[in-house]
Amino acid sequence: MRRLRWLALIAIAPACAAPLSWQTAFPIEQAPSQVYFQARYVNAQGQSHRLQIWRDGARLRRRTDDALDIEVTHDAAGAAQYRVFDYRRGIVTQVARSNLYRIGVFSDGFSLAHVLARPRGAFQLAVDSGQTPLPGDCNWIRISPTEGAPSQVCWSAQWGVPMEIRQSGQTVFQIEQLARNVPESFLQAARRNWITVDANQDIDPTAD
């Protein structure tokens, strides 16, 4: 049924001037609540990195190159709490999302858990049938920001992740492994003897 819906969308796209919404282009409702995936991405300097993400409901762990972890949990009021584990320095920094906003870090749950970051400025979305089809269940969407180069995303509604992202004809992100279970405990990092830093006390002017 989902494939038929997307085929119908592709068929009418050329004749329909209305742009896609972010929620329609990148749905996450059918994605499993518990999932693990590993990917490779290329940063702005052309360097390749490994990314691993564990999702378990509202909990999230995001690891880059076995060097840095970002852990997201929620307090009793539902506010997101972040802990950043620096494996090289042995330091874990804890900070609330509200305090990240104070210092200009606008990190949202969607981009952390589902990799894809929504453009900060104005943009348009469209089905991109000109890209080479990929194995599996993903659909190419073109993101065209008002400022900056467009990108092409092959989005999997089944997993709630981009299987591949291309910019200027080059692959800058690609999924290498997907699983419906979480093969590593979210608490493993806490077993080390970390030096803990509470960034909330330095950022929030109302903190004691």
Q: Supply the pTM of this predicted model.
A: 0.77
Q: Which two tokens stand for residue 208?
A: 């004691």
Which residue shows structure tokens 């995001």?
62
Residue 92, pLDDT score: 84
Residue 43 is assigned to a structural domain of this protein: yes
Q: How far is CA 36 from CA 52, 182, 204, in A?
A: 7, 6, 34
**Cα–Cα nearest to 195, from 84, 78, 56:** 84
- From 158-162, 174-178, 187-191, the region with the lowest mean pLDDT: 187-191
What CA–CA distance (Å, rounded) separates 173 from 154?
10
Q: Residue 89 has which token pair?
A: 């320095």
Which pLDDT value is given to residue 177? 92
- 13 in a structural domain: no
Residue with tokens 């659909």: 139
108: domain CATH number is 2.50.20.10
Does 135 fall in a domain? yes
Q: Does position 10 have pLDDT exceeding 50, yes or no?
A: no
Domains held by the chain: number: 1
- The pLDDT of 39-51, averaged and rounded, is 91
Domain containing 150: what range? 2-8+18-203
Who's near 68: CB < 8 A, 6+ residues apart?
A: 84, 85, 86, 87
Query: Cα 182 from chain centroid?
Result: 17
Q: HEC states along 125-147?
A: EEECCCCCCCCCCCEEEEEEECC
Report whether 97 contacts 78 (CB < 8 A). no
Q: What is the mean pLDDT of the segment spanning 70-89?
A: 81
Identify whether 194 is part of a domain.
Answer: yes
Who contacts 105 (Cβ-Cβ below 8 Å, separation ≥6)? none
The pLDDT value recorded for residue 19 is 65
User: CA–CA separation, 67 vs 88, rounded Å?
Assistant: 6
Residue 208 lies in a domain: no
pLDDT of the residue at 69: 86
Q: Specify if 96 maps to a domain.
A: yes
Q: For the chain, give the percent of residues with pLDDT over 70.
A: 75
Q: Hey, what are 122's tokens? A: 């104005």
